[in-house]
């Protein structure tokens, strides 16, 4: 079955609570111990996941695919899954599409999009694991030593944020050079969306069009290092929403066709895109953030309990899958990703302040400087701020010279909208690019 002909999220069979409980019993502490004890081969798990595609690994009449480790210098590589549609086309634009994941994730999360997107004649997909994630190299992240994290703790500076951004942005550029891509469409999710904007600002001549999928770091706040703040702003803290939303709310909230009466967003900014009330976080959480303690680092130290906790997330996150074996395949893949050596994950506390607010927000630097058309996408019950997305689209259209920005919400979808409703996501992306499959 092709991606475009798959039923909608409401039509697809999902696991009921009693079925989820049965899966938890099947994958209990004993199975978690086995997973942890034997270790998990991420490359084999990736191949098992990609085998859900009809054209993997041998291709079909119109498509061929390959898995690559692209050397980018300094003994580092970027991991890539490439799908090329070999049908002839006279189209001169949108020939290469780069797909970039978000925080803690990897290219496999887009497995439900590869089929639909790759049906466009002449289109070549490049799904990559960002440096420090997935199956790409995992070098030591700058400023994560004991002295930096625990002894010399202090306020994050603009320089440190820029260094964290460049860890990903410059490695993406080195990958582009090795792959000899002149220009490409960049589709990027969450933290990847934020970094995709950073790349488009630093290397504007390389990005043909930009698709931001529920990007983090749009709204401004008291944490914006580019602005001066009054004492009133510095004390504008009230108890905010639960940070665990990204892990649970996407799937626990039922969806309906009725209008949404309240926002699902983690932060709701004002009309200018500024968040006036920032979370009053527990001291333990704030301390962990200031020490750059990664949630995946905690997961790794928990041994078999970490594998069990990962399974709980997987079983909730992928309840739309119809085959329990597919569910276990997703779990094995993502546990192997989560449990890899810590690297890119440590960028989070440099780029974002506690409460998931950017230190260098996109609203403070994108509207007047973006040099390509952009498309800002959110899920209907997305925890990321759709309101901030509307603000930045409006400001780009007001201030940017010669480019336009579009905004859209994908129905029956959360923060991982490309995964929750792949057919609508694919259709909207291709419509924006003026492509047809």
* Residues designated as active site: 190, 382, 415
Helix, strand, or coil here: 200?
helix
Q: Could you say which DSSP state residue 140 is in?
A: P
Sign of the alpha-carbon torsion through 245, 107, 421, 432: positive
- Long-range CB contacts (< 8 A, 24+ apart) of 80-83? 80/107, 80/126, 80/127, 80/128, 80/129, 80/175, 80/179, 81/50, 81/107, 81/114, 81/125, 81/126, 81/127, 81/128, 82/124, 82/125, 82/126, 82/127, 83/55, 83/114, 83/118, 83/124, 83/125, 83/127
Residue 372, Cβ neighbours under 10 Å: how many?
Answer: 20
Name residues whose C-beta falls within 8 Å of residue 52's C-beta, 6 or more positions apart in sequence: 111, 326, 329
Per the structure block, which two tokens stand in for 106?
């990897």
Helix, strand, or coil here: 360?
coil
The answer to whether 79 and 178 are in contact (CB under 8 A) is: no
Cα→Cα distances 326→128, 193, 408, 425, Å: 22, 27, 30, 21
Name residues whose C-beta falls within 8 Å of residue 110's C-beta, 6 or more positions apart in sequence: 99, 101, 127, 418, 419
Using the CB atoms, write b or e for 93-103: b if 16+ within 10 Å. Answer: ebbbbbbbbbb
The answer to whether 9 and 310 are in contact (CB under 8 A) is: no
């Amino acid at each position: 079955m092709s991606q475009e002909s798959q039923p909608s999220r409401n039509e697809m069979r999902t696991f009921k609570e009693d079925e989820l409980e049965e899966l938890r019993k099947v994958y209990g502490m004993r199975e978690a111990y086995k997973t942890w004890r034997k270790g998990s081969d991420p490359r084999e798990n990736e191949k098992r996941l990609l085998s859900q595609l009809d054209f993997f690994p041998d291709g079909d009449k119109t498509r061929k695919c390959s898995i690559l480790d692209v050397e980018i210098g300094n003994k580092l590589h970027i991991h890539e899954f490439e799908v090329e549609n070999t049908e002839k086309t006279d189209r001169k634009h949108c020939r290469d599409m780069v797909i970039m994941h978000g925080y803690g994730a990897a290219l496999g999360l887009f497995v439900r999009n590869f089929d639909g997107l790759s049906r466009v004649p002449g289109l070549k997909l490049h799904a990559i694991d960002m440096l420090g994630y997935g199956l790409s190299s995992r070098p030591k992240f700058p400023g994560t030593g004991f002295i930096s994290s625990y002894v010399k703790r202090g306020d994050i500076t603009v320089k440190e944020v820029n260094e964290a951004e460049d860890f990903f942005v410059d490695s993406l550029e080195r990958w582009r050079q090795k792959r000899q891509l002149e220009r490409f469409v960049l589709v990027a999710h969450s933290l990847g969306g934020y970094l995709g904007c950073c790349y488009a600002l630093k290397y504007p001549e390389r990005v043909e069009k930009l698709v931001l999928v529920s990007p983090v770091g749009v709204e401004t706040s008291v944490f914006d290092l580019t602005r001066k703040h009054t004492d009133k702003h510095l004390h504008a803290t009230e108890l905010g929403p639960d940070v665990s939303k990204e892990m649970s709310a996407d799937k626990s909230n039922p969806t309906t066709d009725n209008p949404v009466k309240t926002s699902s967003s983690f932060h709701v900014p004002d009309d200018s895109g500024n968040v006036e009330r920032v979370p009053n976080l527990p001291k333990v959480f704030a301390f962990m953030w200031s020490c750059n303690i990664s949630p995946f680092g905690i997961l790794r130290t928990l041994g078999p309990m970490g594998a069990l906790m990962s399974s709980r997330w997987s079983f909730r996150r992928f309840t739309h899958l119809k085959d329990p074996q597919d569910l276990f395949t997703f779990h094995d893949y993502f546990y192997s990703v989560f449990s890899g050596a810590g690297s890119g994950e440590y960028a989070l506390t440099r780029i974002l302040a506690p409460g998931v607010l950017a230190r260098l927000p996109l609203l403070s630097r994108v509207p007047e400087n973006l040099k390509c058309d952009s498309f800002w996408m959110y899920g209907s019950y997305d925890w990321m701020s759709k309101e901030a997305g509307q603000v930045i689209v409006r400001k780009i259209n007001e201030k940017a010279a010669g480019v336009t920005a579009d905004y859209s919400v994908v129905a029956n979808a959360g923060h991982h909208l490309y995964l929750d409703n792949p057919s609508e996501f694919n259709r909207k992306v291709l419509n924006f690019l003026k492509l047809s499959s």
